[in-house]
Copies of this chain bind each other. A is one copy, B any other.
């Protein structure tokens, strides 16, 4: 089995032969965060993403009831083609499942949102190591006090990912990630975590802590978990997301998402 063809990866996932995180599979291809909401919340959520493009860069939105993609992949099935899904009811996680065909509602609207995997590949290609990848961990994520713009029922503060860098790599890391504005773009903060309301850098709110070396500076990027937190705050009667790290693997190359 080869893990470098996104169509084959999705076919394998569809047959429930892969329930693991998707980091590192189908290298070069963009992966996406998933949020599914009933139609009555869809305008507000689309507006939340429009107003907060750094944490919520929309890559594809499907019409109400549709579960096959058009843009990110030809005919992928949202109900089966992610390894694991989280099902939330009124803002609480109720279960984690390998498929959602039995839960599907005619009024479900699917949102696929960019993921920082895309720019991490560009950093590594430019010789800039990414600590959590070096350490084989999930990226550390923190809830900040940076306000998002509200949209209807959706409110919240920004969630960020953190990558420590030595001084000489800050400028190239800013420059490279800024090219990827449709997958979070450049950092939202550089330096003191307290300035954005992070109390303890050793205790991320999601993901895992990574080693921070002496003299390293902390760089923070907007994170695709932000819209999930906004959804939790809004407590819709049902919401389905990907399970963390278990992303939608698309047919679009990361390079296609770089600024033109």
Residues of A participating in the B interface, judged by any CB pair closer than 8 Å: 39, 42-43, 46-47, 50-51, 58, 61, 63, 70-71, 149, 151-152, 178, 181, 185-186, 259-260
Contact = CB atoms under 8 A, between A and B. Distances in A.
Number of copies: 2
B47 A50 contact: no
A63 B47 contact: yes
A58 B50 contact: yes
A46 B152 CA distance: 15
7 contacts: A39-B43, A50-B50, A50-B61, A51-B71, A63-B151, A63-B152, A181-B260
A50 B149 CA distance: 18
- Which 8 pairs show the lowest CB-CB distances between chains A and B? A43-B43, A46-B46, A178-B260, A47-B61, A42-B43, A259-B259, A50-B58, A50-B61
- Point out which of A47, A63, A70, A178 has the most chain B C-beta atoms below 10 A from its C-beta: A47
A70 B199 CA distance: 31
A65 to B, nearest CB: 12
A153 B46 CA distance: 17
Given A47-B63, A178-B260, 17 more contacts: A39-B43, A42-B43, A43-B43, A46-B46, A46-B50, A47-B61, A50-B61, A51-B61, A51-B71, A63-B151, A63-B152, A71-B149, A181-B181, A181-B259, A181-B260, A186-B260, A259-B259
B61 A185 contact: no
Contacts of A58: 50
A260 B185 contact: yes
A231 to B, nearest CB: 17
A193 B223 CA distance: 42
Contacts of A259: 181, 259
A236 to B, nearest CB: 16
Contacts of A51: 61, 71
Contact of A43 (B46, B178, B185): B46
Contacts of A149: 70-71
A112 to B, nearest CB: 11
Contacts of A50: 46, 50, 58, 61
